[in-house]
Amino acid sequence: MLDSYPEIKDYIGISGFSVMGGGEQSNAATYFIVLKNWNERKGKEHTAEAVVQRFNMEVYGIQEAEIFAMVPPAIPGLGATGGLQLQLEDRHNLGATEMQRAVETLMEHYRNYPALASVSSQYQANVPQYFLNIDRDKVQLMGIPLNSVFTALGYYMGEAYVNDYVQFGHIYQVKLGAGDRAQRVIDDVLKLSVPNASGEMVPFSSFTRVEEQLGMDQINRYNMYSTAAVTCNVAPGSSSGEGIRQMESLIKEHLGDEFGYEWTSVAYQETQAGTTTTVVFVMALLVAFLVLAAQYESWTSPVAAVMGLPVALLGAMLGCYVMGTPVSIYTQIGIILLVALSAKNGILIVEFARDFRAQGNSIRDAAFQAGHIRLRPILMTSLAFVFGVMPLLFATGAGAGSRIALGAAVVFGMALNTLLATVYIPNFYELMQKLQEKFSKKQ
């Protein structure tokens, strides 16, 4: 199947290892895929996300195994895979079976939430296992030290450190173990023997039974709770914030208060940041307003200068819609940039309008003349900026998503601000100047 994908350059598979589980699993395998260079797979349909989505759709109907693909984490070191990662916590000690049921419930109902492309987990509570039932009473009656039983079993199933020795100038460790071949058949454990108090060798079969049962292949804990690691991928066109909110709604609606959860990796950093972006935006707007207020020595003129910002924000949202990009951190950076760019156009008009008003012109004439005289410089500087950052909209290669998101916000926001704000900013100046002079006369 992997050989049929033209985007794949090479791949390597590791049996018995789960990158999501973070360790060895007897019924798991992990493949690491290397894609071809960006120059050989141009177009949105050949990106890593598109390949993953297409692969997951093809393997969805396979009943014999649970197969899915994921992209690497956006920030190396924050998580083992890409997507949003959370830990589902058994805070009420309901047990592994109920945890398995909860995970299956999430994986069954996530398709009702449009922002979630997939939900997956490697949690397994029904893995076939062998349980050695050692009859401790019988061991005592046979005169066998219980410690000898577990020591022999530990040597057979694992290894034990004996000592060190020096050879060729290096220190080597001596370890005692049975080896891999001795562990292939579980019944071989019953052939082990341990000495009793009389020195006679007693086989394990006389006091041990081998029982088959189902259990967990790994026991994971997070903040002292038994947990299941769950990873969800956000659908194309949706932001990570939307994915987090809809995943929380999925857990609340279908699991209620039976299980708790905590976000980890990149999702944890995003939830901890909270409303930081909103605070930064408000602070940027406040600083711009206060600087203009100090420059004009007025509280009303700066209002007219920054009134182009709502139009710029509308243009930024329109750009995200047209380009099909979610409102990401790069879009928010572009919005912060629009605060200064939109205020710049307003300053050019308000500055001249104040000068014309100081020369004795009426408020309406001052606003009209300022808008007329500064129209050409505003168009020239704004269009030069728009065309200068236009290549961001058509970026390709690694990191193209971030450049497109930034370019969509800045280009469309600045273009709409230039076309509309230059028309109504003089009107806002006229309104604010009339209010200022009206209250000044009353005082």
- Domain at 319, CATH number: 1.20.1640.10
Structure tokens that stand for 393 in this block:
């909209």
pLDDT at 274: 63
CATH number of the domain residue 249 falls in? 3.30.70.1440
DSSP bridge pairs for 379 = none
Distance between CA atoms of residues 422 and 368, nearest Å: 11
199: left (phi over 0), alpha (psi -120 to 50) or beta: left
Rounded Cα distance between 368 and 375, Å, is 11
- Which residues in the chain land under pLDDT 50? none
274 alpha-carbon distance from chain centroid:
14
In angstroms, the CA 91 to CA 222 distance is: 11
Residues 95 and 234 in one domain: yes
- Give the domain CATH number at 193: 3.30.2090.10
Give the amino acid at 72: P
What H or E segment, with its residue span, contains residue 227?
A: strand 225-234
Q: How many CB atoms lie within 10 A of CB 112?
A: 12
Last residue of a domain, one of 177, 212, 247: 212
The two structure tokens encoding residue 243: 């994915």
299 plus 375 within the same structural domain: yes
Q: What is the structure's pLDDT at 275?
A: 60
Mark whether 323 and 205 lie in a shared domain. Answer: no
Same domain, 310 and 435: yes
Same domain, 353 and 425: yes
Helix or strand (DSSP H, E) at 297: none
Q: Which of 76, 64, 70 is nearest to 33 (CA)?
A: 70
Host domain of residue 149: 131-212
Domain co-membership, 331 together with 404: yes
Distance in Å from the first CA to the final CA of the chain? 81
User: 12 by DSSP, 3-state: which?
Assistant: strand
Q: Which of 351, 386, 385 is nearest to 371 (CA)?
A: 351
**How far apart, in whole angstroms, are the C-alpha atoms of residue 406 and residue 332?**
8
pLDDT at residue 259 in the model: 92
Last residue of a domain, one of 212, 243, 258: 212
Average pLDDT, the chain: 84
374 exposed, middle or buried (CB, 10 Å; 0-12, 13-18, 19+)?
A: buried
Name the residue with tokens 């009859």.
135
The position carrying tokens 């022999």 is: 152
Instruction: Mark whether 259 and 245 lie in a shared domain.
Output: yes
Q: How far, CA to CA in Å, does 229 sit from each of 10, 16, 80, 356?
A: 28, 18, 11, 67
Last residue of a domain, one of 212, 228, 260: 212
Residues 314 and 229 in one domain: no
| In contact, 315 and 412? CB cutoff 8 Å | yes
Tell me: do 179 and 309 sit in the same domain.
no
How many separate domains does the chain show? 3
Dihedral of the CA atoms 157, 163, 167, 169 (nearest 10)? 120
* Token digits of residue 310: 């709502």
Q: Could you read off the pLDDT of 75-97 as tens digits, one per residue?
A: 666 666 667 889 999 999 888 88
Residues 242, 207, single domain; the answer is no
- Residues 208, 151 share a domain: yes
Shared-domain flag, residues 138 and 207: yes
414, amino acid identity: M
What residue type is 126 in one-letter code? N
Query: What pLDDT shows up at residue 21?
Result: 66
Task: Note the pLDDT of residue 76.
Answer: 64
